[in-house]
């Protein structure tokens, strides 16, 4: 089971007692340290396997981690306050440098990263840190997510400064000192979501995006829409990568995905930033149509070609050619209509690719054999054969890992463009 880890940086200021409010819930008791309040709220049910990690400079350790760090004032330090909560969680303090040079920043990076384990669930408090730390930490946690599969669950900031400067806060009665805790998680998620959307734009992959789309929180239909989007995005990736021609062609999958994305985009509580990002995703996939049409398969071929999925491009292009020729021939030749789909496609593939100069078409059904040679003289078949033969041969080179000096990407463009041109009027 993944550990839960609370991470915070401790400052050296002589913090004043205040109440904190989070999601309209005021803390029961005033605290000097935001960490104490957050631990009470977030870590109350954690176990001995979880961790509270506090990072201190030498100065902040002396002044605020240990007791009585501010002259003659008898003040309890954060170590004492956290231990007084009597939670089973292990508490660790790590000393770090000030972070005033590149070398020191890297030292802090290594200190924090070194404390993380595989699949840790991270809760991060950015309140008492240098201004560089939040930016630095976002990069660090993205790094950890990639290398150690950690998950940044929440990011929090105690906005004490909303009460005013310290000298003014001292004049405010303690019961009236209520500072808000701001949940910054959605802002951090936006960066992740942006990166995932960029993966869609650059590589044509929705899987990463599907895992992050849950940033759009909601209940009822909204939740249903979000869950459906996640599922359909993964199904779309699978349809392209495994060349599910029928699924792509019928448009139901892409239609439902487009419909749900449109619905989520219009959620009133959605931030403008998230709305624009989702609109960008919507625009990427709107090149497909929510209809049963070969245009969707042609678009999928273009999609695969654009994003470097050349094997899928070849496979979809070859199978699309067979499908279109089949639909062209079936109304004209009853004998083909009596064949099952698999045998009919095998027949058409042979019709388009068999080297009749070197090999005879073999079929136990004499009428099919006769039809085969009859169709060879059909103008559309004569036009298609040279391009399809090359397309099919190149696909076999890829699928069977054969050695070749051909530029299979350029070859694909040449052959498929001609095939598409010949079959323009076949729908």
pLDDT digits (tens, 9 = 90+) for 128-185: 866 677 677 778 888 898 899 999 999 999 999 999 998 999 999 999 999 999 998 8
pLDDT tens for residues 240-279?
999 999 999 999 999 998 998 888 888 777 777 777 777 8
Q: Closest Cα to residue 12, out of 29, 37, 33?
A: 33
- The rounded distance, in Å, linking the Cα atoms of 310 and 296 is 17
Is 80 exceeded by the pLDDT of residue 35?
yes
The answer for residues whose C-beta is within 8 angstroms of residue 400's C-beta and 6 or more apart is none
Predicted pLDDT at 141: 86
Predicted pLDDT at 52: 98
- The rounded distance, in Å, linking the Cα atoms of 205 and 180 is 39
- The rounded distance, in Å, linking the Cα atoms of 38 and 159 is 13
Is 70 exceeded by the pLDDT of residue 214?
no
- 3-class DSSP assignment, residue 405: coil
Is 70 exceeded by the pLDDT of residue 231?
yes
* Radius of gyration, CA atoms only, the chain: 32
Phi-psi region of 243 (alpha: psi -120 to 50; beta: other; left: phi over 0): left
Predicted pLDDT at 47: 96
The answer for residues whose C-beta is within 8 angstroms of residue 139's C-beta and 6 or more apart is none
Beta strands in 136-195 (DSSP E): 151-158, 178-183
Predicted pLDDT at 385: 95
Q: What is the per-residue DSSP string for 339-372?
A: S-HHHHHHHHHHHHH--TTT-----S-HHHHHHH
Domains and CATH numbers, the chain: 4-183 (3.40.50.10640), 191-285 (no CATH), 309-422 (no CATH)
What six digits make up the tokens of 136? 């630095």
Stated pTM of the model: 0.72
> CB of 70 within 8 A of CB of 63?
yes
What six digits make up the tokens of 46? 């954690």
- The rounded distance, in Å, linking the Cα atoms of 416 and 174 is 76
pLDDT tens for residues 302-335?
999 998 999 999 999 999 999 999 999 999 999 9
What six digits make up the tokens of 14? 């002589």
The answer for residues whose C-beta is within 8 angstroms of residue 178's C-beta and 6 or more apart is 18, 19, 20, 21, 26, 163
270 φ, ψ (degrees, to nearest 5): -70, 135
Is 90 exceeded by the pLDDT of residue 351?
yes
What six digits make up the tokens of 186? 């959605």
Predicted pLDDT at 425: 77
CA 194 to each of CA 86, 139, 166: distance values in angstroms, whole numbers, following the listed order: 41, 14, 38
Predicted pLDDT at 426: 72
Q: What is the per-residue DSSP string for 90-122?
A: EEEEEE-----SHHHHHHHHHHHHHT--TT-EE
- 3-class DSSP assignment, residue 22: strand
| Exposed / middle / buried, residue 309 (Cβ in 10 Å: 0-12, 13-18, 19+) | buried
The answer for residues whose C-beta is within 8 angstroms of residue 65's C-beta and 6 or more apart is 10, 54, 56, 77, 78, 79, 93
- The rounded distance, in Å, linking the Cα atoms of 396 and 4 is 50
């Amino acid at each position: 089971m993944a550990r839960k880890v609370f991470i915070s940086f401790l400052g050296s200021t002589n913090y004043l007692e205040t109440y904190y409010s989070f999601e309209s819930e005021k803390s029961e008791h005033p605290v000097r340290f935001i960490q104490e309040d957050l631990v009470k709220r977030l870590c109350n049910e954690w176990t001995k396997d979880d961790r509270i990690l506090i990072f201190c400079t030498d100065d902040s350790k002396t002044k605020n981690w240990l007791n009585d760090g501010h002259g003659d004032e008898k003040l309890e330090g954060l170590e004492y306050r956290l231990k007084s909560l009597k939670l089973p969680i292990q508490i660790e303090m790590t000393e770090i440098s000030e972070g005033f040079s590149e070398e020191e920043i890297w030292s802090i990076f290594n200190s924090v990263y070194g404390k993380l384990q595989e699949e840790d669930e991270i809760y991060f408090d950015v309140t008492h840190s240098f201004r560089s730390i939040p930016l630095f930490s976002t990069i660090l946690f993205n790094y950890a997510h990639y290398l150690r599969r950690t998950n940044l669950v929440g990011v929090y900031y105690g906005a004490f400064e909303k009460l005013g400067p310290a000298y003014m806060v001292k004049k405010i009665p303690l019961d009236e000192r209520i500072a808000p805790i701001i949940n910054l998680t959605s802002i951090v998620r936006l960066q992740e979501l942006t990166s995932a959307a960029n993966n869609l734009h650059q590589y044509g992959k929705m899987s990463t995006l599907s895992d992050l789309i849950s940033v759009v929180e909601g209940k009822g239909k909204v939740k249903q829409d979000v869950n459906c989007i996640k599922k359909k995005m993964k199904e779309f990736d699978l349809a392209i990568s495994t060349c599910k021609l029928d699924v792509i062609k019928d448009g139901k999958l892409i239609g439902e995905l487009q419909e749900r994305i449109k619905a989520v985009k219009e959620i009133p509580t959605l931030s403008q930033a998230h709305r624009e990002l989702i609109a960008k995703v919507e625009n990427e996939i709107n090149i497909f149509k929510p209809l049963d049409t070969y245009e969707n398969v042609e678009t999928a071929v273009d999609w695969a070609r654009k994003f470097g999925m050349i094997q899928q491009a070849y496979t979809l292009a070859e199978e699309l050619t067979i499908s279109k020729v089949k639909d062209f021939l079936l109304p004209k030749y009853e004998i083909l209509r009596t064949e099952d789909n698999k045998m009919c496609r095998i027949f058409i593939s042979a019709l388009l690719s068999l080297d009749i100069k070197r090999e005879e078409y073999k079929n136990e059904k004499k009428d099919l054999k006769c039809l085969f040679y009859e169709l060879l003289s059909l103008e559309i078949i004569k036009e298609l054969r040279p391009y399809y033969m090359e397309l099919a041969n190149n696909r076999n080179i890829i699928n069977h890992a054969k050695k070749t000096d051909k530029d299979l990407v350029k070859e694909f463009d040449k052959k498929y463009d001609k095939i598409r041109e010949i079959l323009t009027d076949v729908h």
